[in-house]
Amino acid sequence: MNLKELNDIAQKVRKKNEGFKKKVCVCCGAGCLSSGSEPVLKGLQQAVKDKGLENEIEVIPSGCMGPCNQGPLVKVLPDQTIYQKVLEPQVTAIVERHLSKQEVVTEMLIFSDSREVSADTSQDPFFKKQFKIVLQNCGNINPESINDYISVDGYRALDKALRLMSSEEVIAEIKHSRLRGRGGAGFPTGLKWETVYKYVASEKYVICNGDEGDPGAFMDRSVLEGDPHRVLEGMAIAGYAIGAQKGFAYIRGEYPLAIKRFDQAIKQARKLGLLGKNIMGTEFSFDVEIRIGAGAFVCGEETALIASIEGKRGTPRPRPPFPAESGLWGKPTLINNVETFANIAPIILRGGEWYSEIGTPKSAGTKVFALAGKIQYSGLIEVPMGMSLREIIFDIGGGVPGGKKFKAAQTGGPSGGCIPEEYLDTKVDYESLVSLGSIMGSGGLIIMDETSDMVDVARFFMEFCMDESCGKCVPCRVGTKQMYDLLSKICFGKAREYDLKLLEELAVYVKETSLCGLGMSAPNPLLSTLRYFRKEYVEHLKGTPASQIPSLPVS
Amino acid sequence: MIAVKDKAKTFDLPKDDPRTKLLMSTLKREGTRPDALIQVLHTAQTLYGYLPMNVIRYITQSLRLPPSRVFGVVTFYHFFSLKQKGEHNCLVCTGTACYVKGAEKILEEINKAYALKAGEVTADNNLGLQTARCIGACGLAPAMVIDDNIVAKVKSEEVTGIIRSRIGEAK
């Protein structure tokens, strides 16, 4: 494979696409599949054939389009018209009216049951306010076809890096882009790459962290399902930059479709010589293997993840040495999140300068969020850093449904915190969220309305951390249990003032003395709800139990 | 519990079981690399539905690992189960989005109808109940999975009806 062959494939696909008047994408992400998009895809393909339109209209399965709640979704290109809740009976309407007669089926347009929308649904606030880099191809190409990916400039960044850039230049470009780790902590990606690059070793490894353990986050899943080649290309470029020949993608066992699609992508890339020995005729060799996670939240922590790839219990170890120096099998290892890798190809192609101008001065680029909970339009969105929470929740997400009042936005999962209404105008970036007592996290954004009891929310997350604590260090193992018991006592209206004082003291100890990120951040939901919703704690101290007595079992 | 006392005695799985063959071929492919353990356990669990003690013993022996190490890994990860699951299985997501939207009510309903708690199986072995930390279907909360099919936006009053329509009766 060389640039010419890459161009040939791209041209062939584009020429084929030009032959079609319309392209119909049927969302086949896990969300829409569960709403029943597979029979819709087959139905559409058959109906188009029956009408004799198969030479004019192409029907393909695609990745996630965003508003999962409205699924199954069908998008007609180039019209940019998205139809919602399309089931088999609705297929005929799309074929008979839109595809045959150019007549938009207004009653099936996305969001049409709750607001006015035009036929060009990309003008709807849900889509218009977004800025897509990572999700650029999601929902527009067939994720199971490498040719489709190549036709949208796929693997061109890898070609550019291998042919025209040295390792140092690739790293310099990433540094210049000011991209920061999208897994949550926000460590500068270029700096991490440079550190691993500088260590001399016979072998180095690239690891893609796809162990999206935060409950309420599904960005990585959607990217892996909707555009797996983008992640693969990012990993290969990283391998070239740091001098690694082997990569591992650690994907959650709970995501069978993501595993299947990524595995398929690896095989396709190998076949075309985009992975394997002497990629694109250069000296560079790189291959990727999948490792399937087995359901442990702590494995999102890098040293625990490495232990898990080595086939051991996923327990973290003290750092230093950092994985950059001594990681997988003691070799220098680069670990980045799925979304970070998905950002690499566009940065190499369009330059770090372009990327650094998006977002805020300290946090460049865009961030993918998973909107869920008590929100009108839940789903997957990508916005530039620095957009306010209010815009994200009310303009894009449509606010809280059912006439209820907004109460809090929870970011960062069990490691994050709850942000109340008065801070909704905060511009979202790594620093601003930390100053509010939360964290960016991997991008889960759960909206809670007035019916949520914040003490019980804190208890929910504490139960999670208690159960997921690996048990290696005492502060986390014992501390989370004690905090959980105290929170339960408060929830059931059986606590006294002394208990709250003890809880606050304990939270600080656990935060300061735990071994890894899980323990260090476990008190965050508690501390942030105490900070903003203390009134509710005090209310329970008077003997009022939580409105809904929680009964979530400890599994 | 699974320590092999007599080291000279090797442990075999029934040869006429087709699953044995599949497991053996995975073990052969992965070789004796100790880091293959989790991948092998994944395969075994897919084949048997859970990890029976004799299968764990067999893997221990093939990978030449101490039994404590294998048992340690099996019990560490939520995905691996030492208990047999039901004929049909219902997995209720208890992630944040599902929690906010009432996952506990779903569990309550199931408990009411089948007297089941997470991790248990009905007496006739027809229905098993599990919970998951998050299945990543947050946009469709609350969600549950019945025999690998995601059921989206579950209403608590409809839970038993949905289960009955998919798996029939269970006691």
**Same domain assignment for residues A170 and A307:** yes
Position A550 pLDDT exceeds 80: no
Hey, are the CB atoms on A34 and B149 less than 8 Å from each other? yes
What is the per-residue pLDDT across A141-188, written as a single tens digit (0 to 9) for each?
999 999 999 999 999 999 999 999 999 999 999 999 999 999 888 999
Q: Test B77 with A295 for CB contact under 8 angstroms.
A: yes
The edge-to-edge listing of strands for the beta sheet with A333-337 is: A287-292, A246-251, A205-210, A333-337
- Indicate if the pLDDT at residue A474 is higher than 80: yes
Q: What is the pLDDT of residues B36-69, one digit of tens each?
A: 899 999 999 999 989 999 999 999 998 989 999 9
pLDDT class of B2 with cuts at 50, 70, 90: low
Cβ contact B39–A292 (<8 Å): yes
Whether residue A207 sits in one domain with residue A290: yes
**Listed range (A149-158, A201-210, A298-307, B28-37) with the worst mean pLDDT:** B28-37
Q: How far apart are the first and last CA of chain A?
A: 50
For A:424-453, CB contacts with B below 8 A are 444, 446-448, 452
Tell me: the pLDDT tens digits for A384-394?
A: 999 999 999 99
Report the residue from B99, B107, B139 with minimal CB separation from A553.
B107
- Among A213, A314, A446, select the one facing B76 at the smallest CB separation: A314
CB contact under 8 Å between A214 and B134, yes or no, is yes
Looking at residue A431, which CATH number applies to its domain? 3.10.20.600
3-state secondary structure of A61: strand
Q: How far apart are CA A275 and CA A162, in angstroms?
A: 13
Find, among A283, A277, A324, the residue nearest to A302 by Cα: A324
Contact by Cβ (8 Å): A416, A439: yes
- For residues B23 and A342, which has the higher predicted lDDT (pLDDT)? A342
Q: CA B171 to CA B114: how far, in whole Å?
A: 6
Are A326 and A397 found together in one domain? no
Which chain B residues are Cβ-neighbours of A477 within 8 angstroms? Answer: none
Show the domain range for A497. Answer: 454-548
- Bridge-based pairing of strands A379-384 and A333-337 is unpaired
Task: With beta carbons under 8 A apart, name residues in chain B contacting A371.
Answer: 139
The answer to whether A314 contacts B77, with C-beta atoms less than 8 Å apart, is: yes
Determine, yes or no, domain membership for A287.
Answer: yes
Q: What pLDDT is recorded for position B15?
A: 82
Chain segment A16-44, per-residue pLDDT in tens:
989 999 999 999 998 899 889 999 999 99
pLDDT at A555 over 70: no
Once rounded to an integer, what is the mean pLDDT over residues B118-140? 90
Interface probe with A: pick from B30, B32, B76, most Cβ of A within 10 Å: B76
Q: Which residue of A has its CA nearest to B63?
A: A311
Nearest CA distance, B3 vs chain A (angstrom): 19
Q: What is the pTM of this model?
A: 0.93
Q: Are residues A124 and A53 in the same domain?
A: yes
Residue A229 forms part of a structural domain: yes
Does any CB of chain B come closer than 8 Å to the CB of residue A215? Answer: yes
Instruction: Give the whole-angstrom CA distance, residue A211 versus residue A256.
Output: 13
Q: Find chain A residues with C-beta within 8 A of B138's C-beta.
A: 215-218, 370, 372-373, 378, 444, 446
| Stretch A530-541: mean pLDDT | 94
Alpha-carbon distance A78 to nearest alpha carbon in chain B (angstroms): 27
Which residues in chain A (453-472) have CB-CB distances under 8 A to chain B? 460-461, 464, 468, 470
**Strand A366-373 with A379-384, pairing:** antiparallel
Cβ within 8 Å, pair B80-A67: no
* CB-based contact A217 B136, cutoff 8 Å: yes
**Which residues, listed in sequence order, are joined to residue A180 by a DSSP beta bridge?**
A188
**Residue A189 domain-assigned?**
yes
Question: CATH number for the domain including A341?
Answer: 3.40.50.11540
What's the Rg (C-alpha) of chain B? 19
* Contact check, Cβ <8 Å, B94/A34: no
d(CA A539, CA A493): 9
Which chain A residues are closer than 8 Å to B118 by Cβ? 553, 555
Whether A311 is covered by a domain: the verdict is yes
The answer to whether A186 contacts chain B (CB < 8 Å) is no
Q: Which two tokens stand for residue B66?
A: 């101490």
Contact B78 A294 (CB under 8 A): yes
Interchain contact, A295 vs B119, CB within 8 Å: no
- Is A461 a domain residue? yes
Q: Is the Cβ of A216 closer than 8 Å to some Cβ of chain B?
A: yes
A382 shares its domain with A506: no
| Confidence (pLDDT) at B25 | 87
Final residue before a domain boundary, out of A429, A449, A469: A449
Note whether A94 and A105 are within 8 A (CB). Answer: yes
Number of Cβ within a 10 Å radius of residue B17: 12
CB contact under 8 A, B133 and A468: yes
- Nearest by CB to residue B77, choosing from A35, A218, A294, is A294
Residue A52 burial (CB count, 10 A) = 8
Residue A555, in any domain of the structure = no
Q: Is A70 helix (H, G, I), strand (E, B) or coil?
A: helix
- Residue A241 is predicted with a pLDDT of 97
Q: How far apart are CA A465 and CA A471, in angstroms?
A: 11
Residue A115: inside a domain? yes
Q: Nearest CA to A468 among A315, A323, A337, A310?
A: A315
Indicate the pLDDT class of residue A553, thresholds 50, 70 and 90: very low
Instruction: Clarify whether residues A318 and A425 are in a common domain.
Output: no
Mean pLDDT confidence for A194-203: 96
Size of interface A-B (CB pairs under 8 A): 162
Which tokens belong to A312? 């051991």
Residues A405 and A451 sit within 8 Å (Cβ to Cβ): no
Kindly report the average pLDDT of chain B as a whole number.
88
CA distance B74 to chain A (A): 9
Per-residue pLDDT at A283 exceeds 50:
yes
pLDDT at B26 over 90: no
In this prediction, residues A111-116 reach a mean pLDDT of 88
For residue B162, list chain A residues with Cβ-Cβ distance below 8 A: none
Q: Is the pLDDT of residue A506 over 90?
A: yes
The whole-number pLDDT of residue B3 equals 52
Nearest CB to B100 within list A69, A252, A452: A452
Q: Considering the domain boundaries, does residue A139 fall inside one? A: no
DSSP A348-414: HHH-HHHHHTSB-SSSBSEEEEEEEES-SS-EEEEEETT-BHHIIIIIIT---STTPPEEEEEESGG
Nearest by CB: B136 against A218, A371, A548: A218
- CATH number of the domain that residue A460 is part of: 1.20.1440.230
Residues in CB range of B99: below 8 A, 6 or more apart: A215, A460, A552
Looking up residue A33, the CATH number of its domain turns out to be 3.40.30.10
The residue-averaged pLDDT of A51-61 equals: 93
Would an 8 Å CB–CB cutoff place A547 in contact with chain B?
no
Cβ atoms < 10 Å from Cβ of A272: 18
Same domain, A445 and A461: no
CA angle B2, B8, B13 (to 5 degrees): 55
Asked if A34 lies within 8 A of B118 by C-beta distance, the reply is no
Residues A406 and A422 in one domain: yes
**Residue A407 near chain B (CB below 8 Å):** no
DSSP states along A397-445: T---STTPPEEEEEESGGGSEEEEGGGTTSB-SHHHHHHTT---TTSEE
Chain A residue numbers with beta carbons less than 8 Å from the beta carbon of B134 are 213-218, 254
Q: In this structure, are A310 and A376 located in the same domain?
A: no
The domain tally of chain A equals: 4
Helix (H) or strand (E) holding B128: strand B127-132
**Structure token pair of residue B143:** 């969600």
Do A260 and A321 lie in one domain? The reply is yes
Beta carbons within 8 Å of B28's beta carbon, 6+ residues apart: none
User: Does residue A329 sit in helix, strand or coil?
Assistant: helix
Residues A103 and A188 in one domain: no
A440 and A538, same domain (yes or no): no
Cβ separation B139–A31 shorter than 8 A:
yes
Q: What angle do CA A215, A216, A221 make, to 5 degrees?
A: 90
Residue A554 has a pLDDT of 38
Is the pLDDT confidence value at B7 over 70?
A: no
**Boundary-marking domain end, from A425, A449, A473:** A449
In order of A22, A142, A267, A481, A548, the CA distances from A80 in angstroms are: 10, 16, 32, 51, 44
Considering only the beta carbons, identify the residue of B34, B78, B135 that sits closest to A311: B34
| Residue after which a domain boundary falls, among A417, A449, A481 | A449
- Residue of A38, A73, A298, A312 to mutate when probing chain B, most B C-beta within 10 A: A312
Distance CA B50, CA B26 (A): 17
Residue B32 has a pLDDT of: 73
CB-closest option in A68, A253, A555 to B139: A68
Predicted pLDDT at A548:
55
Dist. CA A442–CA A410, nearest whole Å:
12
- Distance (Å, whole) CA A433 – CA A5: 46
Query: Does an H or E element contain A536, and which?
Result: helix A534-541
Q: Which two tokens stand for residue A535?
A: 């009134």
What is the band of A436 on the pLDDT scale with cuts at 50, 70, 90? very high
Q: How far A217 CA sits from the closest chain B CA (Å)?
A: 6
